[in-house]
Amino acid sequence: MLNIKMLKPYYVKEDKRFIRVVLAYQYFSLFIDQELYQFVPMESREIIVDRSRKRVHNVFDIFVFQREKKIVYVSVADLLAIPEFITHLDSIVSPYYDDDEQLEGQESMEEAKEIIVQLEKENLRRLIDRSIDEQDRESFEVLTNLWNNLNRQQSSHS
């Protein structure tokens, strides 16, 4: 059974596509069957996270852990099966995610709101036209008041 004792990056390196969590000997250790093993940078020494997908890219890489003369090989996929590993990793990489990603989401929400307002205006225009066609003076007055209020609200927000 695997449990994380410590997971701290030696340093974090980032580029446009990836966040690389570079690990070193004294910064990563885990319990394997209640025995403490230290990370040894013999094979893989970094966890690579894809920025856009927010997923670990190098799941097939192998990390080496040592306790005295015993050596254990653990894949990144095995580590990802440990909830506390994911929690530690997320706390390390989350500050490196672009703020732009959140802004893009906010921009698309603003666009959606604008589209909804336009659709509501078109619908209201059709209802006004129908009230004219049906010579429904009461509906016409209610709908034109709505139309005027909507236009006033929009001009005050601009």
Q: Which residues contact 64 (CB under 8 A, 6 or more apart)?
A: 39, 40, 41, 42, 43, 71, 72, 73, 74
The whole-number pLDDT of residue 103 equals: 38
Check: CB of residue 21 under 8 Å from CB of residue 45. no
Tokens 């802004």: give the residue.
103
What pLDDT does 63 receive?
94
User: How far from each other are the two terminal CA atoms of the chain, in whole angstroms?
Assistant: 60
Predicted local distance difference test score (pLDDT) of residue 98: 64
How far apart are the C-alpha atoms of 49 and 58, rounded to whole Å?
A: 8
- pLDDT tens, position by position, for the chain (158 residues)? 788 899 999 999 988 889 999 998 888 999 989 999 999 988 899 999 988 888 899 999 999 999 999 999 999 998 988 888 888 898 898 888 765 544 344 455 667 677 777 888 888 899 999 999 999 999 999 989 888 887 787 777 65
